[in-house]
Structure 1
Amino acid sequence: MIIFVFTTISFFILPTLTAAHNGARDELGGHFRKADCVYLLHEPSSLAKTAANMDELIQLIKKYNSNSSCASGLSKENVDLEGYSFPNQNETGQKEVSTPSDNISSTEEPNDAIKLGTRYPAELVKCTDGDTAQFKINGQTYITRFLYIDTPESTNKIEPFGKEASTYTCSFLRSGNITLETDGDRVFDKYNRLLAWVWVDDQLLQEEITKAGFVEDFYDYGDYLYEDRIVSSMAEAKKLSKGMYATTVEEMDEIENRTVAIPDKTEEAVTDPTQTEKIDNNQKDESSETKEKNSEENGISDKVIIGLLVIVFLYYFIRRKNRK
């Protein structure tokens, strides 16, 4: 009778203890979920990381996991990487392939079609600031740095007269037909920006914005065709007190002290739809796991109760028999 009691206890109680455990991890850092034979790669080991793709990982699972019944029919759909990505692959599992632009060094020209000493009809794509804009030439868009001039900043930070310079440039570029002219000893700078003189109809933008008093300095890294015209325009702007030169030195110092930095937006909430979708999927997965755990716990509780009732029944049955 005692043997029968212990057998009953083992039948009802021990399965509840094993059911509470999801399975020991194999040498790859994962295990099969008993309910549906889905392989869960919890913590990829160095062995798992030797797999370059899903097919190689499946072969490793079949070799190193002892659950042959699940491993034998394992497919890609039944492997949950839990966020792990294979080496040289992105989150979607696709191998990353470098594009020609990825291989351009800072000293190489991104497009051989653009030559030095040549004029190109261009179309305005976007105004950036007083000395930078984006133009389209023959269907290709180029971030373009205007040759020779340097205007106050209005992007990463707002400097005195930065907004005025940006507004002047944008308005000027929309006033006529645009032509870009390459010059100097190189077509692109180290940031792969096109370097050019900017003509709007028959007017040179660099010359006009300098006359307006919105150029604070020159960058002279070579011999340029129109640098004498720009230097003369700067002298004229200062003489006529144009733009930033309309104030005294003391007033300029006071304005510079009020330079405003653009707020950092890196901590703003993520509004990328793909990120939102990932968050929703994660929440759904967590909800499913919670429901699964709850159902397992409920099943465990029922078995424990039944086991205890059987034990109580057997206890009273044995006592009653012994009294007889």
Structure 2
Amino acid sequence: MKKVLLLLFCFAINVYATPKTEEATFEACVDGDTAYFKVAEDTLKVRFIAIDAPELKDDYGKEASEFTCDTLLNAKEILLEYDADKADKYGRVLAWVWYDKKLLQKTLIEKGFAQTAYIYKDYRYVNSLCFDEKKAKENKVGVWSKESTKYKYCDEKSISDLDYNINYDDILEEKKDNKLSKTDEKRLKKIIDTSQKASEFLQKNDKKISEYGTYIILLIASIFVFFGKKKQ
């Protein structure tokens, strides 16, 4: 029972406190679709979600890598936006990369340095990327200047059916929502203090927990409701 309650408290706090966007500092480039960023005190290896750039040995691989490196190195502001999947099977962080109010994935697609790929869930800007990709293909830009380039995810999508939703202003609003007000900070502190007291109570009254467990779980459930409203 103690483990269950602890997990519930941890889950509640995590749901409330984990942001959807984070400010980042560029550290190093791997290739056209992967780079290292500093976020808070952590260094993250980030794979740009929903796109695939050519390997360095392939056509336009070097150009894609140089463009990504130069763009991020000279960017004044970088934001990482997370989607349905926050990491891939290799442990790399998956994120939309915003630089100076522009979406890097979009820029790479427009220049023909990448194409839409690895779509495992309903990622936020995929339809918009397909719109830009079809334009790049029509204009034979970058990888699309090569007849050998195979069309992937966007092949059967019609441009007229695609909703274009890349808007930096939306990110700004969501970024503001990531910040806790002073009132919410106090509430979160009270919740943490309560969880600590509950832990002490459980340690001292392990045999009696069955009498109080239901009431404590109901209390935590009410916290979940509060968190859910704040996240919407």
TM-score, normalising length from structure 1? Answer: 0.39
Instruction: Calculate the aligned-residue CA RMSD, in Å.
Output: 2.2
Matched, 1:147 2:46: no
Task: Assess, with a 3 A threshold, how the Cα gap between structure 1 residues 116 and 167 changes in structure 2: closer, same or farther.
Answer: farther
Residue of structure 2 equivalent to 1:52: none
Equivalent position to 1:182, from 82, 85, 97? 82
Aligned 8 A contact 1:175 1:200 in 2: no
Residue of structure 2 equivalent to 1:122: 24
Q: What do residues 80-120 of structure 1 show as CA deviations (whole Å, max 9, x unaligned)? A: xxxxxxxxxxxxxxxxxxxxxxxxxxxxxxxx79x876110
Identity of aligned residues (%): 38
Equivalent position to 2:125, from 216, 226, 249? 226
Residue of structure 2 equivalent to 1:167: 66
Q: What do residues 141-174 of structure 1 show as CA deviations (whole Å, max 9, x unaligned)? A: 01001000001112xxx11111111111111212
Task: Assess, with a 3 A threshold, how the Cα gap between structure 1 residues 151 and 116 changes in structure 2: closer, same or farther.
Answer: farther
What does residue range 1-324 of structure 1 map to in structure 2 within 5 Å? 118-154=20-56, 158-176=57-75, 177-184=77-84, 186-247=85-146, 249=147
With a CA cutoff of 8 Å and minimum separation of 6, indicate the structure with the bigger relative contact order: 2
- Structure 1 runs (4+) deviating above 3 angstroms are none
In structure 2, how many angstroms separate the alpha carbons of the residues matched to 1:116 and 1:147? 19
- What secondary structure sits across from 2:74 in the alignment? coil
In structure 2, how many angstroms separate the alpha carbons of the residues matched to 1:228 and 1:205? 15
Q: CA deviation at 1:127?
A: 0.5
Aligned 8 A contact 1:121 1:137 in 2: yes
In structure 2, how many angstroms separate the alpha carbons of the residues matched to 1:206 and 1:244? 15
Larger displacement relative to structure 2 (136-145 or 237-246): 237-246
Q: CA deviation at 1:175?
A: 3.0
Aligned 8 A contact 2:136 2:144 in 1: yes
Q: CA deviation at 1:216?
A: 3.7
The amino acid of 2:109's aligned partner reads T
Aligned 8 A contact 2:20 2:81 in 1: yes
Task: Assess, with a 3 A threshold, how the Cα gap between structure 1 residues 149 and 116 changes in structure 2: closer, same or farther.
Answer: farther
In structure 2, how many angstroms separate the alpha carbons of the residues matched to 1:132 and 1:214? 13
The amino acid of 1:240's aligned partner reads N
Q: Which has the larger radius of gyration?
A: 1
Aligned 8 A contact 2:109 2:116 in 1: no
- What secondary structure sits across from 1:195 in the alignment? strand
Q: What do residues 167-196 of structure 1 show as CA deviations (whole Å, max 9, x unaligned)? A: 111112123211000001x32222111110
In structure 2, how many angstroms separate the alpha carbons of the residues matched to 1:215 and 1:198? 14
The amino acid of 1:242's aligned partner reads V
Q: CA deviation at 1:242?
A: 0.9
Q: CA deviation at 1:198?
A: 0.1
| Gap runs ≥5 in structure 2 | 1-13, 151-232
Q: What do residues 51-73 of structure 1 show as CA deviations (whole Å, max 9, x unaligned)? A: xxxxxxxxxxxxxxxxxxxxxxx
Residue of structure 2 equivalent to 1:284: none
In structure 1, how many angstroms separate the alpha carbons of the residues matched to 2:141 and 2:133? 10
- What secondary structure sits across from 2:24 in the alignment? strand
Task: Assess, with a 3 A threshold, how the Cα gap between structure 1 residues 147 and 136 changes in structure 2: closer, same or farther.
Answer: same
